[in-house]
């Protein structure tokens, strides 16, 4: 209506500002608006190719073309919805701010990524795809997880001998394992950001390690010496076996793997095997856990020696050589020591002069110490007993032959029998 001013058309609101004040505030905001800024507004109009957003200025901001984002994102926009927009230009030739939904979303994700990197946050992200170099995950931004940072792949695993065919087969196997992760959600930590290079590097291994550390701390506070827990054999080494207790690995020293002497844990264990373990010690400072498999089992030693008798001779297998003698395993698994003085009936400087590991020998049981779980054996006495037995058998055989010869000497010959018979006949005739 002619003659009306802004103030007459927009009367002063109770407890509010006049239209003039609102317009002045809008002008101030417009003057402070600049390219690269992210502001909040609400949608006032939606079309497939254009969206109008009220950001508190006299004119609505315009978002069009590729700045709308994906068709799927546009389809979810609704009038009245609050959104963040990125300012491309403070004002177009038509007097409207030129805005971008797509860049605002990307900027928001970059800022979040920077915050996550600074905080060392662990994130859950879906795996979009993979290649021979690693995984691509969705963090709002596409992030790359190098193969060295994938927790399920270990660079220190044994690898086949290098060859063109072997390398191809190994690469195919690795790629197949990566493909199994596509579509799954994994935990990752951002470890590198570069906006100029549009580069986001993430690590699943770092996230898993952090989670394991948290679980390990909780587990350490819950473990007590003497506890018996179930775990999974995670790796084997010459000095023992590592067992995963569900958050932390404990070490079973080779001496605690089995009641019988073994040269390597793989003789009785394999990776992935479920075992019961007894907790020997827990070091809260170093976060190391000492475990024992054999102490979680009944001591078989008493049963193993129950059928053994001191003085009897048994067959045994040499299992280990030492400076002071050799260890030998009897049938059933029980081991005993053959002291170096009991290896032979002559002076022995080293056990290797008489036996080697794996040799099958005859031993005499010389002592059974149930309390100290020690079994005394002797090859020398077993050999002496064998020689004595052979000597006794030889004497018995000689005595038997001598007896037979004596019988033969006392027994009359056939001609003598005939003479005796003739004499007896002659005596009868004379008497007649």
84 is written with which tokens? 């963040």
Positions of the chain with pLDDT lower than 70, given as ranges:
1-31, 154-171, 406-432
Beta partners for 147? none
Q: Looking at 6-110, which runs of residues are DSSP E strands?
A: 38-47, 50-54, 61-64, 82-89, 98-100
pLDDT of residue 297: 86
- How far from 32 is each of 23, 37, 87, 389, CA to CA, in Å? 14, 10, 12, 114
- Provide φ and ψ at 165, rounded to 5°: -70, -40
**DSSP letter at 132?**
T
Q: pTM (2 decimals)?
A: 0.50
* Three-state DSSP class for residue 369: strand
* Three-state DSSP class for residue 123: strand
pLDDT of residue 413: 62
Q: Dihedral through CA 313, CA 314, CA 318, CA 319, nearest 10?
A: -120
pLDDT of residue 148: 92
Strand 82-89 to 38-47 pairing? antiparallel
CB atoms within 10 A of CB 77: 17
For the chain, which domains are there?
A: 39-110 (2.40.50.140), 120-155+169-208 (2.40.50.140), 224-296 (2.40.50.140), 298-427 (2.40.50.140)
pLDDT of residue 389: 83
* Three-state DSSP class for residue 189: strand
Residue ranges of the alpha helices (H) in 190-344? 204-222, 301-305
Q: Looking at 284-385, which runs of residues are DSSP E strands?
A: 288-292, 313-322, 325-330, 335-339, 360-369, 374-378
pLDDT of residue 236: 94
**DSSP element (H, E) containing 55:** none
Q: What is the largest CA-CA distance in the chain?
A: 198
């Amino acid at each position: 209506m002619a003659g009306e001013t802004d103030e007459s058309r927009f009367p002063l609101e109770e407890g509010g500002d006049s239209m003039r004040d609102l317009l002045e505030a809008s002008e101030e905001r417009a003057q402070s608006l600049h390219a690269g800024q992210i502001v909040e507004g609400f949608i006032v109009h939606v079309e497939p190719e254009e969206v109008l957003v009220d950001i508190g200025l006299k004119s609505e901001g315009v978002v069009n073309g590729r700045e709308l984002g994906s068709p799927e994102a546009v389809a979810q926009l609704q009038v009245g919805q609050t959104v963040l927009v990125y300012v491309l230009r403070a004002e177009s030739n038509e007097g409207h701010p030129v805005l971008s939904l797509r860049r605002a979303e990307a900027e928001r994700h970059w800022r979040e990524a920077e915050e996550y990197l600074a905080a060392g946050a662990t994130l859950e992200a879906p795996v979009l795809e993979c290649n021979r170099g690693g995984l691509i995950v969705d963090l709002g931004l596409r992030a790359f997880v190098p193969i060295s940072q994938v927790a399920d792949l270990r660079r220190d695993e044994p690898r086949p001998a290098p060859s063109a065919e072997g390398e191809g087969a190994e690469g195919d196997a690795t790629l197949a394992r990566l493909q199994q992760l596509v579509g799954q959600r994994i935990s990752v930590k951002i470890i590198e950001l570069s906006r100029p290079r549009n580069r986001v590097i993430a690590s699943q291994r770092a996230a898993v390690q952090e989670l394991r550390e948290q679980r390990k701390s909780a587990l350490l506070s819950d473990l007590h010496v003497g506890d018996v827990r179930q775990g999974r054999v995670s790796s084997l080494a010459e000095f023992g076996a590592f067992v995963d207790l569900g958050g932390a690995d404990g070490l079973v020293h080779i001496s605690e793997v089995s009641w019988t002497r073994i040269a390597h844990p793989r003789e009785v264990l394999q990776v992935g095997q479920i075992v019961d373990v007894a907790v020997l010690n827990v070091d809260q400072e170093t976060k190391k856990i000492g475990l024992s498999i054999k102490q979680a089992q009944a001591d078989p030693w008493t049963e193993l020696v129950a059928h053994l008798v001191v003085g009897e001779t048994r067959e045994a297998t040499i299992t280990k050589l030492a400076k002071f003698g050799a260890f030998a395993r009897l049938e059933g698994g029980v081991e005993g020591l053959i002291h170096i003085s009991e290896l032979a009936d002559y002076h022995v400087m080293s056990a290797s002069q008489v036996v080697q590991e794996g040799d099958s020998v005859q031993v005499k049981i010389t002592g059974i110490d149930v309390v100290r779980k020690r079994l005394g054996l002797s090859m020398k006495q077993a050999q002496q007993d064998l020689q004595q037995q052979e000597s006794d058998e030889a004497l018995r055989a000689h005595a038997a032959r001598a007896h037979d010869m004596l019988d033969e000497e006392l027994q009359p010959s056939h001609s003598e029998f005939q003479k005796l018979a003739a004499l007896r006949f002659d005596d009868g005739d004379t008497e007649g």
